[in-house]
């Protein structure tokens, strides 16, 4: 009985671990599909423009930009998940141990500065920033570039989708600011259950709401991490108000995104080797928390 309960718990835990990734994938492709439908079928053009060359070019430009963002989101997310930032397979030489090194009792090894143990990943992570629950992976030294690039294209994609869905909000509000229109905008699923809207109207309203909420959340994450990157900090160092590894804006960009920091965010295929090893860092300030 205990063995069955243990196996069941492990399966549920594994399912919950992958659930955020599945949910994010579903939302990304749902939003992409809905915006593609808006562009191809219900493009905001006058009836006499529907069959013109300008209309075809307009739709082509929108679809190219839309799927460029989608490919970058998926590719960066895949590389982020596949690139492990942990200490597994990394030689932590004993001769180089100095200030900032600590002993991890969970991993049973000495760990370098800016490295800390993640209880979700069950391993120490080099230059650990935080554990991303949306991807089930820690953000660390080797995969920070993919994490930030994914956030960039998610932010731009959600901004684009929100602007494209502006017409959906305008159509809903054409009847005026009534209880029906407000409920359809804020809680469309209740309107669907009550039978006051069609499944099609519900789908458009729900995805439009998701775009707005998602854009606000991703904006907060994206700009917060941009500030951290410019300051040369991790989230953990931001909590303790420390900036001992800041090398200036240009130096921080170089050490975070790599040799081709100025162009690597355009495509994950562009090689951009990181200058360090994630073990030793140049100290430029006090390692003690600011008081």
In a domain, 291, yes or no: no
In a domain, 117, yes or no: no
- Residue 226's nearest CA partner among 283, 155, 289 is 155
| pLDDT confidence band for 89 (50 / 70 / 90) | confident
Give the model's pLDDT for residue 123. Answer: 93
In a domain, 271, yes or no: no
Residue 272 or 168, more confident: 272
Query: How many folded domains does the chain comprise?
Result: 1
| pLDDT confidence band for 53 (50 / 70 / 90) | low
Give the model's pLDDT for residue 15. Answer: 63
Residue 117 or 25, more confident: 117
Q: Tell me the percentage of the chain whose pLDDT exceeds 90.
A: 37
| pLDDT confidence band for 70 (50 / 70 / 90) | very high
Give the model's pLDDT for residue 72. Answer: 95
Give the model's pLDDT for residue 192. Answer: 52
- In the residue annotation, 121 being an active-site residue is answered as no
In a domain, 179, yes or no: yes
In a domain, 92, yes or no: no
| pLDDT confidence band for 54 (50 / 70 / 90) | low
Give the model's pLDDT for residue 73. Answer: 95
Tokens of 159: 């901004």
**118, 121, 132, 138: the active-site residue:** 132
State the average pLDDT over residues 176-188: 58
In a domain, 119, yes or no: no
In a domain, 250, yes or no: yes
DSSP calls for 163-180: HHTHHHHHHHGGG-S-HH
Over residues 235-250, the pLDDT tens digits come to 988 887 778 888 999 9
Tokens of 77: 């997310």
pTM attached to this predicted model: 0.83
Give the model's pLDDT for residue 40. Answer: 79
pLDDT of residue 51 exceeding 60, the answer is no
Full residue range of the structural domain in which residue 57 is found:
10-84+143-265
In a domain, 72, yes or no: yes
Tokens of 149: 């690039």
Taking the C-alpha atoms of residue 79 and residue 148, their distance in angstroms, rounded to an integer, is 12
> Over the Cα atoms of the chain, what is R_g?
23
Position of tokens 């143990």?
117
């Amino acid at each position: 009985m205990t063995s069955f309960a243990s196996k069941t718990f492990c399966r549920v835990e594994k399912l919950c671990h992958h659930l955020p990734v599945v949910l994010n994938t579903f939302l990304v492709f749902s939003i992409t599909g809905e915006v593609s439908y808006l562009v191809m079928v219900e493009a905001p053009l006058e009836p006499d423009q529907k069959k013109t060359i300008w209309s075809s070019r307009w739709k082509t430009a929108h679809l190219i930009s839309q799927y460029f963002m989608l490919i970058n989101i998926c590719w960066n997310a895949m590389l982020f998940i596949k690139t492990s930032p942990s200490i597994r397979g990394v030689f932590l030489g004993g001769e180089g141990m100095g200030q900032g090194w600590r002993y991890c009792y969970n991993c049973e090894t000495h760990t370098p500065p800016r490295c800390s143990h993640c209880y979700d990943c069950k391993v120490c992570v080099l230059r650990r920033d935080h554990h991303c629950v949306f991807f089930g992976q820690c953000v660390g030294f080797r995969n920070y570039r993919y994490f930030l690039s994914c956030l960039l294209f998610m932010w731009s994609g959600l901004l684009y989708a929100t602007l494209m869905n502006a017409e959906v909000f305008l159509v809903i509000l054409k009847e005026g600011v009534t209880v029906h229109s407000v409920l359809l905008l804020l809680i469309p699923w209740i309107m669907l259950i009550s039978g006051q809207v069609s499944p099609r109207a519900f789908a458009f309203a729900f995805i439009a709401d998701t775009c707005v909420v998602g854009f606000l959340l991703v904006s907060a994450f994206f700009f917060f991490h941009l500030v951290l990157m410019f300051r040369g900090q991790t989230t953990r160092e931001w909590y303790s108000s420390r900036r001992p590894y800041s090398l200036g804006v240009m130096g921080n960009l170089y050490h975070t995104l790599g040799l081709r920091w100025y162009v690597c965010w355009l495509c994950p295929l562009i090689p951009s080797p990181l200058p360090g090893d994630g073990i030793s860092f140049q100290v430029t300030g006090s390692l003690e928390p600011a008081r």
